[in-house]
Amino acid sequence: MTVCASSIPVDVRKLAPHDRYPVASAAFHLLDGGESMELVHGQDLKALKLEFESSLPGKFSWAWLEQGPAVWRASLTRVKSGHGNGGCCGGCGGA
């Protein structure tokens, strides 16, 4: 999978627990296929990962960047759909 844009940081450390997923989800929905965001939190992101898996199965990939103890970071990439998903004309900025 080719990631074309640099990761967009989404820091949820100062958000109330009930606001974390809606904010992260809204940021994710702004991504185009192949683009990534970096999710940052001061505790384990397992609960947010499970919410993404439940509501958006198969639409993202998740890669741990840092797993505590002080900071937890993960890269979420929106999976490209349909034509161009790593095929003949996928990629960044043309040929």
Residue ranges per structural domain of the chain = 8-78
- 3-class secondary-structure state, position 81: coil
CA distance 34 to 39: 16
CA distance 67 to 42: 10
| Confidence (pLDDT) at 57 | 93
- 3-class secondary-structure state, position 36: strand
Q: Which of 77, 37, 82 is nearest to 56 (CA)?
A: 77
CA distance 29 to 19: 16
Contact residues for 55 (Cβ-Cβ < 8 A; gap 6+): 25
32-64: pLDDT as tens digits: 999 999 999 999 999 999 999 999 999 999 999
Question: Token pair of 19, please?
Answer: 């606001």
User: What CATH fold (topology level) applies to the domain 8-78?
Assistant: Translation Initiation Factor IF3 (3.30.110)
What pTM does this model have? Answer: 0.74
Whether the per-residue pLDDT at 94 is higher than 60: the answer is no
Whether the per-residue pLDDT at 87 is higher than 60: the answer is no
